[in-house]
Structure 1
Amino acid sequence: MASSIAGGAALVTGASAGIGAVYAERLARRGHDLVLVARSGPKLEALAARLREATGRRVEALPADLQRPEDLLRLEHRLREDAGIAMLVNNAGTALAGPVAGADAARLDAMVQLNVVAATRLAAAAATGFKARGAGTLVNIASVLGLAPERFNAVYAASKAFVLALSQGLDAELRGSGVRVQAVLPGATRTAIWEIAGVDVASLPPEMVMEAEEMVDAALAGLDASELVTIPSLPDAADWERLDAARLTLGPNLSRNHAAERYLRGELPAEAGA
């Protein structure tokens, strides 16, 4: 069933607070109608009411828990079938600090389900709907920790590396279809995710922590510039471009019919101290 929201609506997950709430406010002020998704119905409706009054946009509050199969299915269907939705901000996620060895397996599983499984299914549903309609914008919120897995919980970092790879792969797949893809890699951002992860954000060096408003404004500027990968805190975009170019240079040698000569000729250096 088609939405009552007019064309050009943006669907934002994890929208009740933090990065998602800032995206909702910024997109409404840019002229988008909104579909806001989060677990907390009262918080979501309060934000929706405020944005309706402040911007005059049509804002739908859609409470959903993306770890519940029935809620995820409902949202996938909406993204595939509702021609009024032209943008997905795939933002919902969670975090866990500390080592993986000895971690609560249930919490690790919940993090993977939300950061990887739900994010993938929503991205796939949006890509399907947008491609069929010949237009749409998919924004996936990853993290710089996807590039620096040794600096935080390894499963969290891996989940964000997955989101980056998913975005790069989808961009290649959807090129020429009218669908735009952006992966946003924030650094430490002042949101409630730190409390969920078990970290006091005040314990971090203040020069590392960006406000959510500034992060989202930078991400939207990157979207306006048609960036595939936006790293809001990175001073020189050429640093990312060099890293990505080095990755692509590996391509011809990543899969060959023989092992590299250094393995066949015993040319590997002896282990230190051997």
Structure 2
Amino acid sequence: MSKLPTALITGASSGIGATYAQRLARRGHALVLVARDHERLNKLAASLHDDTGVAVEVLPADLTNPTDLVGLETRLREDSDIEVLVNNAGIAQSGRFVEQTAQGIDRLIALNTTAPTRLAAAVAGRFAGSARGAIVNIGSVVGFAPEFGTAIYGATKAFVLFLSQGLHLELSPKGVYVQAVLPAATRTEIWERAGIDVNTLPEVMDVGELVDAALIGFDRRELITIPPLHVAERWEALEQARLSLLGDIRQAHAAQRYQLK
């Protein structure tokens, strides 16, 4: 039996990241777990190794810290055993746009957009050169739903979706698989950290169900996996409408409705 590639997971100490670690360990993948909480990472790593026997390495890092981010980029560029990158680390927006601070905005954008982009860039060349590898980006349905009222968080997740689609177009012909996973409300600690009582939400998905569905999409090599979307044709129709819109764009002149009579 061929050895499965090592998977590096960010935000791995809890929630979606920790559940990905559990599921991938059960499949036989060696793991590199990245998060700020060293103690929780060590406990998870020991548990996974005891349960599955796979090798689990812990890399404590704060991806909003430039030094930590550069160190992780170097590891991804140089470690040829790592062939799966799960860009999961992220934080939610607490409060409305007018309540945000400059520091909070910078941190949210740094973790939700800058870090996954730079980590994907760190592996893209190596993956493309070997014609294998997978990049999994955890987005959100909020990325196409400004009505939810989280302008900055939603914008970061729209970025993740667009980035994933762009990477797919560039990297899939070179043998690299890119997947964007778009959860809706999922029962994780992200809500508590944002000061939101998850029990006040009308519907919340169990994190295990979310990751299991995401991995089915991974095995099917889906580009966009939306576990809470029950009518898949809705997404397909949205994509067709987008492509039709592009077909109606004419760059040489403004549309007639914008021309002076």
Q: TM-score range by the shorter chain?
A: over 0.9
Q: Give yes or no for contact 1:9–1:87 (8 Å, CA) kept in 2.
A: yes
Partner residue of 2:174? 177
Q: Distance in 2 between matches of 1:35 and 1:152?
A: 35
Q: Which residue of the other structure, out of 149, 154, 160, is the alignment partner of 1:152?
A: 149
Partner residue of 1:222? 217
State the shift of 1:255 in Å.
Answer: 4.9
**CA offset digits 1:203-243 (Å, max 9, x no partner):** 111xx200110000000001111110000011121111110
Closer, same or farther in 2 for the Cα pair 1:153/1:204, shift >3 Å? Answer: same
Q: Which residue of the other structure, out of 208, 211, 227, is the alignment partner of 2:206?
A: 211
List 4+ stretches of structure 1 deviating above 4 A: none
Q: Distance in 1 between matches of 2:243 and 2:135?
A: 23
Q: Which residue of the other structure, out of 192, 196, 212, is the alignment partner of 1:199?
A: 196
Q: Give yes or no for contact 2:87–2:116 (8 Å, CA) kept in 1.
A: yes
Work out whether 1:135 is the aligned partner of 2:110. no
Q: Distance in 2 between matches of 1:253 and 1:132?
A: 37
Q: Which residue of the other structure, out of 81, 89, 94, is the alignment partner of 1:92?
A: 89
State the shift of 1:178 in Å.
Answer: 1.0
Q: Give yes or no for contact 1:215–1:232 (8 Å, CA) kept in 2.
A: yes
Q: Secondary structure at the match of 1:77?
A: helix
TM-score computed with the length of structure 2 as normaliser = 0.96
Q: Which residue of the other structure, out of 73, 77, 82, is the alignment partner of 2:74?
A: 77
Q: Give yes or no for contact 2:4–2:28 (8 Å, CA) kept in 1.
A: no
Partner residue of 1:250? 245
Amino acid in structure 2 at the alignment position of 1:82 = D
Partner residue of 1:262? 257
**CA offset digits 1:166-195 (Å, max 9, x no partner):** 000000011221100000000000001001
Q: Distance in 2 between matches of 1:79 and 1:173?
A: 19
Work out whether 1:17 is the aligned partner of 2:14. yes
State the shift of 1:252 in Å.
Answer: 2.7
Q: Distance in 2 between matches of 1:86 and 1:7?
A: 9
Partner residue of 1:49? 46
Q: Give yes or no for contact 1:98–1:152 (8 Å, CA) kept in 2.
A: no
Amino acid in structure 1 at the alignment position of 2:148 = R
TM-score computed with the length of structure 1 as normaliser = 0.92
Q: Give yes or no for contact 2:172–2:178 (8 Å, CA) kept in 1.
A: no
Q: Secondary structure at the match of 1:249?
A: helix
Q: Which residue of the other structure, out of 100, 104, 108, is the alignment partner of 1:107?
A: 104
Once the two structures are aligned, what percentage of the paired residues are identical? 56
Q: Distance in 1 between matches of 2:128 and 2:113?
A: 22
Q: Distance in 1 between matches of 2:149 and 2:46?
A: 37
Work out whether 1:232 is the aligned partner of 2:249. no
Partner residue of 2:120? 123
State the shift of 1:98 in Å.
Answer: 2.1
Q: Distance in 1 between matches of 2:249 and 2:14?
A: 42
Q: Distance in 2 between matches of 1:167 and 1:147?
A: 14
Please, which runs of 5 or more residues in structure 1 have no aligned partner? 1-5, 267-274
Q: Give yes or no for contact 2:94–2:194 (8 Å, CA) kept in 1.
A: yes
Q: Distance in 1 between matches of 2:54 and 2:250?
A: 51
Q: Secondary structure at the match of 1:101?
A: helix
Q: Distance in 2 between matches of 1:102 and 1:30?
A: 44
Q: Distance in 2 between matches of 1:149 and 1:98?
A: 14
Work out whether 1:59 is the aligned partner of 2:59. no
Q: Distance in 2 between matches of 1:228 and 1:68?
A: 30
